[in-house]
Copies of this chain bind each other. A is one copy, B any other.
Amino acid sequence: MKLSRNTNAKKEIQQLISSSKTALSHSEIQKSLDGLCDRVTIYRVLERLLEDGNIHRTVTTDGVVKYAACHSCEIKHSHNHIHFSCLKCNSVTCLDNVEPIFKLPDNYQVIEMNFTLSGLCPKCI
């Protein structure tokens, strides 16, 4: 893997995602950064942070890609958890400790999973 440089944009974006309770979309990040760097740079930084395993991504039921840092997996970084997407306030939250159980037919090799539930979050219920 290529060397990763500790740039301003990268620091800010990582910081933003890490300190957010909910997963953030590219456009939300862009708004927060308020001109700190170019749109394209945000895409590239996100790509890099993903590669480095510092963040992970989810897709909401309506196709919006969101980025989040795990809070409860300091030791072993596992992304096989459920995300909850609130239809009212649009927040996406990691349900870090919920692990779904399912039985797959043979001959499928799973590499990644994306499990998103939509509905109303505790705040909006």
Contact = CB atoms under 8 A, between A and B. Distances in A.
Contact of A104 (B60, B61, B102, B117): B117
Contacts of A109: 119-120, 125
Contacts of A101: 100-102
Nearest to A98: B102
A113 interface: yes
Interface residues of A, number: 37
Nearest to A101: B101
Contact of A111 (B106, B114, B118): B118
Given A102-B101, A108-B84, A64 B61 contact: no
A87 B59 contact: no
